[in-house]
Amino acid sequence: MNRITRRSVLAAALATPLLPAVARAQGWSPTRPLRFVVPFPPGGATDVVARVLAERMQEKLGQPVTVENRTGAGGNVGVENVVRSAPDGHSILMGTTGTLTINPHLYANMGFNPATDLAGISMAFATDHVVIVNPSVPAQTMAEFVALLRAQPGRLSYGSGGNGSSTHLVPELFKLVARVDMQHVPYRGSAPALNDTVAGNVQVMLDQLPSALPMIQAGRVRALAVTGPRRSRLLPDLPTMAEAGFPDAQATSWGAVMAPAGTPAPVIERLNAVIREALAESATQQRLAAAGADAVSSTPAELAATMRDETAKWGRVVREARVTVN
């Protein structure tokens, strides 16, 4: 199993400095409010980061930037809404690992292709996942959790943000690596899945850290490990998957801002510059860090390369885990 790490996702994105892009792109300005489509319900990690970024963008662009949550079909409904929008810079998308690089392997008739029907603007964030369990689960460590799963295969259920989402694929990667079995229960977004994990209707989730963090801090779920390459500064006592004995279960999710294909280059350049400037600000970085996400920007070309690499990597997970959306 190939490792899916923050390093592979972010190497290209971190390669280019901010200022040249900012200096180049001053030619286009929006003439009306922007729609920033999030293809998942409010409250999840993608939504949290989009709202922070929208606030900074509207200050820099001089027009309101309104977040719209358009859910359904593993995020495809929201993505298609932007794909079908006018390519004039006034409709943008917060795409994710799942919607941009996993769904093409799962949906044979999406009606669009993220690689060709969207134009990348910039990476926006990266975040680890965290293994959380309802407090009723009798496991205090990853070793105890894996032993429980092996002793009672299929008894515990894990919630996800939907078939094919990162909160589905990351647990499937863990199951492959650890050789354990859990039942999958898909939801329409990570927030309702998290709510049911807290309630005990499902017992496990490998949620993105930003959305899970408040429930961890409140003691409503128990955290066992993070999936990133290093410990989280917000949960410094929590081991990584590698430290828990499962280095090949390491994984990082990310989000990127996209526009409809055909959006003019000057528009892409201006939006890229504004987003990168916002993400370079210490206040923005601190707000994302407080939520468990890292601010990560890129050029459009670097984002395209990341999407190609991630599409190939997650395609292998889909095939090996035999993941379907049915």
Q: Do domains 6-127+252-321 and 128-249 have the same CATH topology?
A: yes
Query: In CATH, which of 3.10.20.90, 3.90.110.10, 3.40.190.10, 3.30.300.90 is domain 128-249?
Result: 3.40.190.10
Tokens for 230? 């290093």
Contact in structure between 240 and 109 (CB atoms under 8 Å): no
Asked if residue 275 lies in contact with residue 112, where contact means CB atoms within 8 angstroms, the answer is: no
Residue 176 contacts residue 318 (beta carbons within 8 Å): no
Tokens coding 234: 């917000």
Q: How far apart are CA 24 and CA 322, in angstroms?
A: 46
Q: Cα(132)–Cα(204) distance, rounded to whole angstroms?
A: 6
Q: Where are the domains of the chain?
A: 6-127+252-321, 128-249
Taking alpha carbons only, the member of 82, 106, 108, 112 closest to residue 95 is 82
Q: What is the pLDDT along the chain (326 residues), one digit of tens a residue?
A: 444 344 444 544 443 444 444 434 467 999 999 999 999 888 777 888 999 999 999 999 999 999 999 998 888 999 999 999 999 999 999 999 889 999 999 998 889 999 999 999 999 999 999 999 999 999 999 999 999 999 999 999 999 988 878 899 999 999 999 999 999 999 988 889 999 999 999 999 999 888 899 999 999 999 999 998 899 988 999 999 999 999 989 898 899 999 999 999 999 999 999 999 999 999 999 988 877 788 999 999 999 999 998 898 889 889 988 888 86
Angle among Cα 162, 163, 164 to the nearest 5 degrees reads 110
What is the three-class DSSP state of 222? Answer: strand
What does the pLDDT read at residue 313?
A: 82
Q: Please compute, for residue 292, the number of CA atoms within 13 A of its CA located in the half-sphere on the CB side.
A: 29
Cα–Cα separations (whole angstroms), residue 74 to 66, 107, 271 = 22, 10, 26
Residue pLDDT, tens place only, 228-285: 889 998 899 999 999 999 998 989 889 999 999 999 999 999 999 999 999 999 999 9
Sort 72 into a burial class: Cβ within 10 Å, 0-12 / 13-18 / 19+: middle
- The pLDDT, as a whole number, for residue 10 is 52
Q: Look at residues 231, 230, 233, 200 and name the one whose alpha carbon lies nearest to residue 215.
A: 200
| Burial (Cβ within 10 Å: 0-12, 13-18, ≥19) of residue 314 | buried
309: left (phi over 0), alpha (psi -120 to 50) or beta: alpha
Q: What is the pLDDT of residues 206-235, one digit of tens each?
A: 998 888 999 999 999 999 999 988 999 889
Containing 109, the helix (H) or strand (E) segment is none
Query: Domain 6-127+252-321 falls in which CATH fold?
Result: D-Maltodextrin-Binding Protein; domain 2 (3.40.190)
Q: Pairing mode, if any, of strands 204-208 and 118-133? A: antiparallel
